[in-house]
Amino acid sequence: MAKTKELSKDTRNKTVDLHQAGKTESAIGKQLGLKKSTVGAIIRKWKTYKTTDNLPRSGAPRKISPRGVKMITRMVSKNPRTTRGDLVNDLQRAGTKVTKATISNTLRRQGLKSCSARRVPLLKPVHVRARLKFAREHLDDPEEDWENVIWSDETKIELFGKNSTCRVWRRKNAELHPKNTIPTVKHGGGNIMLWGCFSAKGPGRLIRVKERMNGAMYREILSKNFLPSARALKMKRGWIFQHDNDPKHTAQATKEWLRKKHFKVLEWPSQSPDLNPIENLWRELKICVAQRQPQNITALEEICMEEWAKLPETVYKNFVATYRKRLTSVIANKGWVFLYEKAYQERDTAIESSVMTKVKGFGEHHNKTMDVADFVTPSQGSSVFCIITKLITTENQVQGLCPEVSNTTFYNSQHTPDNSLDMFCENSEGKFKCEHDDNCTKLMTKPGSNGLLTGKCVNYGTMKTCQIRGWCPAEIDDVPIKPMMEVENFTIFIKNSIRFPRFNFTKGNFLPNINSSYIKKCNFDFEQNSYCPIFKVGHVIRFSHQNFTTLANKGGVIGIKIAWLCDLDRSEDECKPAYSFTRLDAMSEKTSVSPGYNFRFAKYFKMENGTEYRTLLKAVAIRFDVMVNGDAGKFNMIPTLINMVAAFTSVGVGAVLCDIILLNFLKGADLYKARKFEEVSDAHIEKSLSYNSGVLRTREQSQLSVRPEDKFSNDSGAFSIGQYG
């Protein structure tokens, strides 16, 4: 049987405390979620040894001595590119024979693991100084200033490129099985260039750059896509535009265009992609796209657009809200590129979640009153469900032979004239029209729309069409029918529970202030009822920036996203769901081929003589996908200590401590003092004071600075940008 996870020392101490308080083993077990036998073992150990710590255990000694461990740890710290083979040879020369696996296990216990070296931009001293200057100038800028910035950039996504790593479980010698491989082609199989922008309020436009980008094309992109994005994001007055120092961005013609448009441009240090939060956004997009496994360039573009629309709105806000920590890390690392994350917390994104849904409402369709059993499928209340808005019915179908009647452009089942058959024939597209059997025989290799072609040409009204074998009469599915407009006022109840297994933390979207009386009268909205679990369909459609009438006529797929971003170092009450809404099949709006969302199902019956017949229904529906994601963090001492030591070392605290020891506690302190505190000239002091005062003046500025050529006027907040030299 697999070894169970060891109980924490805190849990063991609580067990002893409850025992001393007079509680029974059963009561303690129920309270702490432990077995009675486990509680008894902890108490017996405490009574015998007066401790809850782990006792010394028997076992083979470590292969590498403590001195050897320090030696190899010191070697890889000095040179992280040292290989396991090098360490094996060094230990062997010292008299210790070990394997590479032992080296890996030993270093892992020291908190070191083998990782791929990250590729980062080459930073010259001038770049380092510019990055430090930018970070120091903006370190104290308020969060509201960063929320008023629109971030932009370009990125390249390859069709079969290394957008993300992939691991597989396989058996020995099965590495070349198609399921265990990733297809690769020369030059990545092609790629697409994308330009996009976003702010803390949400995403801007994402477009594909189909030609080689130059300054003229970049200005055209800004004109056609950036300006509409800025208007759609509804930025506050005085918003700032960010782009990097690419030659296309800093060309004189581009600067002149920006000046005429009165854009405020954020001064940007070169070689600093890590300071632009859109780089994190590109990574999220590339991972999502790689998981979809597009097979051609067209599919790659479509999937990129779909995944861009799916990203939760909370992602954009979080990237910007924590911008100050990026600047702090740049200063702590003396301007070098960093990997940004909450280093003091252990994180869990491997959530366990359940979703239960329930739809309520009544509508009228085909002169019938429809209830939930009629228009909601599936009926189990899952996270993916459909609300049917239109039903096209073909009744009394039986197995047999009949004319193929597809591809009509005219038919009305509600008001059918006597000559409707002739009118159908005259308006048919003619795919299956025929004069004799030979015409139909040639079509037998192609599938019919409603059945299998028999190769015969039969009469149908005043014309002839090919015969099929299948369910007859054949379906005519383009009947003009009005949708059930009452769906707009239907309500969706969503019950969500989420668990972060690493922290054993569970939460649901029924917050403590939600009771039965509140549920009966609330409907979700972003301002007053942002945590109400009941959603009106019309509101959801509007939150997704869609038109209900269009969706009711053609169908579509709407995503309801629930994001749990929980800081478990704070109160549990602050862990709340954030709802967002989007159209998932956005590409359906841009194509005339199979637009919207529809499906078919049938109800089967039997006549008295045993003959089976059915009613075929084509349903146009709005599909709702409820998607849940979560990210929780909790303080952990190990990453905190590691990063504190790294930060102290980077800002010189280590040097200060060494000076204190050398100046006060070691022999030869007087000699060291004489060398340390050498005479400093007045010129050095004045230079140091002027530099420090300049830094102080810089930090007193609270607003985001723009490029040094920018000039402001006092008339109604007007803004102009001067010529770049």
The pLDDT tens digits of the residues spanning 15-35 come to: 999 998 889 999 999 899 899
452 pLDDT more than 70: yes
- Is residue 61 in a domain? no
Q: Residue 126: pLDDT band by 50, 70, 90 thresholds? A: confident
Pairing outcome for strands 352-360 and 264-265: unpaired
Same domain, 376 and 513: yes
- What pLDDT is attached to residue 113? 78
For residue 392, the cross-strand partners are 618
630 pLDDT more than 80: yes
426 pLDDT more than 80: no
- Is residue 350 in a domain? no
Query: Which carries the bigger pLDDT value, residue 573 or residue 612?
Result: 612
- What pLDDT is attached to residue 391? 92
Mean pLDDT of 159-164: 59
- What pLDDT is attached to residue 162? 52
- What pLDDT is attached to residue 94? 84
What angle in degrees, to the nearest 10, is found between the helix axes of 9-20 and 36-49?
80
- What pLDDT is attached to residue 536? 95
- Is residue 415 in a domain? yes
- What would the DSSP string read from start to end of 188-248? GG-EEEEEEEEETTEEEEEEEE-S---HHHHHHHIIIIIHHHHHHHTPPTT-EEE----HH
Determine contact, residues 578/643, Cβ cutoff 8 Å: no
Most confident of 178-187, 489-498, 644-653: 489-498
Mean pLDDT of 218-233: 89
Residue type (1 letter), 275 = L
DSSP-derived secondary structure letter, 510? S
Q: Measured between alpha carbons, how far is 587 from 590 in angstroms, rounded to an integer?
A: 5
Same domain, 180 and 326: yes
Query: Which carries the bigger pLDDT value, residue 639 or residue 385?
Result: 385
Same domain, 370 and 321: no
Predicted confidence (pLDDT) per residue in 551-573, tens digit: 999 999 999 999 998 888 888 88
- Of the candidates 534, 570, 559, the one whose C-alpha atom is nearest the C-alpha of residue 629 is 559
Residue that is written with structure tokens 């006549």 in the block: 607
Same domain, 33 and 70: no
% of the chain with per-residue pLDDT over 90 = 30
395 pLDDT more than 70: yes
Contacts of 7 (CB under 8 A, 6+ apart): 34, 38, 42
Please return the burial class of 215, using the count of CB atoms within 10 Å of its CB with bins 0-12, 13-18 and 19+: middle
Mean pLDDT of 529-556: 92
% of the chain with per-residue pLDDT over 70 = 75
Least confident of 96-105, 356-365, 415-424, 602-611: 415-424
Four-CA torsion 47, 48, 49, 53, nearest 10 degrees: -70
Q: Residue 725: pLDDT band by 50, 70, 90 thresholds? A: very low
Count of domains for the chain: 5
Least confident of 595-599, 639-643, 695-699: 695-699
Q: Measured between alpha carbons, how far is 663 from 650 in angstroms, rounded to an integer?
A: 22
Same domain, 189 and 290: yes
- What pLDDT is attached to residue 339? 42
- Is residue 647 in a domain? no
Query: Which carries the bigger pLDDT value, residue 725 or residue 585?
Result: 585
412 pLDDT more than 80: no
- Is residue 121 in a domain? no
Q: Residue 648: pLDDT band by 50, 70, 90 thresholds? A: low
Same domain, 133 and 179: yes
- What pLDDT is attached to residue 274? 83
Mean pLDDT of 392-403: 92
549 pLDDT more than 50: yes
Same domain, 150 and 299: yes
410 pLDDT more than 50: no
Please return the burial class of 537, using the count of CB atoms within 10 Å of its CB with bins 0-12, 13-18 and 19+: buried
Mean pLDDT of 40-48: 91
Same domain, 170 and 301: yes
Same domain, 144 and 293: yes
Same domain, 290 and 334: yes
Q: CA 574: distance to chain centroid? A: 22
Longest dimension (CA), the chain: 117
- What pLDDT is attached to residue 712? 36
CB neighbourhood size of 417 (10 A):
9
Q: Residue 649: pLDDT band by 50, 70, 90 thresholds? A: low
Phi (first) and psi of residue 306, to 5 degrees: -65, -45
Q: Measured between alpha carbons, how far is 240 from 263 in angstroms, rounded to an integer?
A: 7
Q: CA 629: distance to chain centroid? A: 8
88 pLDDT more than 60: yes
What angle in degrees, to the nearest 10, is found between the helix axes of 323-332 and 313-321?
40
Instruction: Compute the chain's Rg from CA coordinates.
Output: 35
83 in helix, strand or coil?
Answer: coil
682 pLDDT more than 60: no
Q: Residue 433: pLDDT band by 50, 70, 90 thresholds? A: confident
431 in helix, strand or coil?
Answer: coil
Same domain, 593 and 542: yes
Secondary structure element (H or E) that encloses residue 280, with its range: helix 278-292
Contacts of 215 (CB under 8 A, 6+ apart): 247, 248, 251, 253, 254
Phi (first) and psi of residue 399, to 5 degrees: -70, 130
- Is residue 163 in a domain? yes
State whether the Cα torsion 305-306-312-315 is positive or negative. negative
- What pLDDT is attached to residue 478? 77
- Is residue 355 in a domain? no
Q: Measured between alpha carbons, how far is 335 from 474 in angstroms, rounded to an integer?
A: 72
257 pLDDT more than 70: yes
701 pLDDT more than 50: no
Region of 436 (left: φ > 0; alpha: ψ -120 to 50; beta: rest) is beta
Residue type (1 letter), 239 = W
- What pLDDT is attached to residue 175? 61
Mean pLDDT of 86-98: 89
Q: Residue 626: pLDDT band by 50, 70, 90 thresholds? A: very high
178 pLDDT more than 80: no
Secondary structure element (H or E) that encloses residue 459, with its range: strand 451-460
- Is residue 672 in a domain? no
Secondary structure element (H or E) that encloses residue 626, with its range: strand 612-635
691 in helix, strand or coil?
Answer: helix
673 pLDDT more than 70: no
Q: Residue 51: pLDDT band by 50, 70, 90 thresholds? A: confident
Q: Measured between alpha carbons, how far is 591 from 586 in angstroms, rounded to an integer?
A: 10
Phi (first) and psi of residue 387, to 5 degrees: -110, 115
- What pLDDT is attached to residue 416? 40
Same domain, 157 and 299: yes
Q: Measured between alpha carbons, how far is 420 from 418 in angstroms, rounded to an integer?
A: 6
Least confident of 125-139, 151-165, 292-306: 151-165
Expressed as residue numbers, the domain containing 452 is: 405-472
The mean pLDDT value of the chain amounts to 79
